[in-house]
Structure 1
Amino acid sequence: MAILKRRIAPPDPWTSRARPAFLYVMYGLLLWSVPLGLIGGARPDVAQAIIGAMQAYFNALPEPLYALFGTGYLGYTAARAWGKSKGAER
């Protein structure tokens, strides 16, 4: 007979949505390469304009924002791995 464990819900519902939301954004960026590739095959000038606009947008974001995101994401990953290795999280 299997013992079912109740999962304790976090008090803040946004906490449980943070990681999936980030993954959905990354999936969207990866999937965007398919229509952009098709546009590039049919209209290279339009694809180049789209790429230029996206590069300008990402270059306009301040460097400390990238550092903050990287630090937070890597810190979360390290803390999660440490918690799992200690048996605190399953």
Structure 2
Amino acid sequence: MTSVRRRRITEDRWTLRARPAFLYMMYGLLLWSVPLGLIGGVRPAMAAAIIRAMHAYFNALPEPLYALFGTGYLGYTAARAWGKARGVER
């Protein structure tokens, strides 16, 4: 019964996509710096307005939301590393 439960958990589509979705979002944020740099070279005022808007957006998110996300992600990472060290996960 335990092996069936483990198999069911690892085949869960939401679980399989969780980490890649976060990484793709981070890649997107990093890659956004390329067009923003090009805009800044051509129209510095527009780039400054975009940066101010993004800064305002990220400041509008409540601090506990950042803490919750960080705790959840670090907890997932620690549990995954522990599972791999014990040989429970691949």
* TM-score of Structure 1 vs Structure 2, range by shorter chain: 0.7 to 0.9
Alignment-derived partner of residue 71 in structure 2:
71
* Structure 2 Cα separation of the partners of residues 70 and 21 of structure 1: 15
* Structure 2 Cα separation of the partners of residues 13 and 81 of structure 1: 20
- How far is 1:81 from its partner? 0.6
- How far is 1:12 from its partner? 3.2
Unaligned runs of 5+ in 1: 1-7
Indicate the SS of the match to 2:32. Answer: helix
Normalising by the residue count of structure 2, what TM-score does the alignment of the two structures yield?
0.87
Alignment-derived partner of residue 3 in structure 1:
none
Q: 1:13 to 1:52 in 2, by over 3 A?
A: same
Alignment-derived partner of residue 28 in structure 1:
28
Aligned residues: 83
Moved segments of 4+, more than 3 Å: 8-12
Counterpart residue identity of residue 16, structure 1: L
Counterpart residue identity of residue 84, structure 1: K
- How far is 1:83 from its partner? 0.6
- How far is 1:9 from its partner? 5.4
Alignment-derived partner of residue 57 in structure 1:
57
- Larger helix percent: 2
- What percentage of residue pairs aligned between the two structures are identical? 81
Normalising by the residue count of structure 1, what TM-score does the alignment of the two structures yield?
0.87
- How far is 1:15 from its partner? 1.3
* Structure 1 Cα separation of the partners of residues 17 and 37 of structure 2: 31
